[in-house]
Structure 1
Amino acid sequence: MAKGKRITGAARDQLTADVAKEYDGGATIRAIAEKHHRSYGLVHHLLTEAKVTLRGRGGPIRRAAA
């Protein structure tokens, strides 16, 4: 699938299934986007369409300086 090419029909359904499986397997949205040469936003949208429960952001909690 060429970078930047619109994805429709069965190809989109297959990409959605692949993305959901990878995300459920522990991959990050950014890693999936890079692997498939797609934007973070598209991958996030596909996961939402697939009704995948998204993980929290993680990382250290930032606190206001005292």
Structure 2
Amino acid sequence: MNVGQPVDPVFGALNALIYGFDPDPAVAAFLALHGTLLVYGPLWKDLVSELEAAFPRIATWTIEGS
């Protein structure tokens, strides 16, 4: 797989679905998002922008979670 290239949508959706069942809800959400971002490939910033518009608080998150 080339870096920055989208993956097969079925593969990405399968990852999002499988990882979405992690017992820790925060881990499940971020792993599912990761699987989804893989499908977006180089257009991943468009998805993040849409998420920030829908959930404004996301735009203020940091790695530390503050």
State the TM-score, normalized to the length of structure 1.
0.31
State the TM-score, normalized to the length of structure 2.
0.31
Which protein shows a greater Rg?
A: 1
Whose helix fraction is larger, Structure 1's or Structure 2's? 2
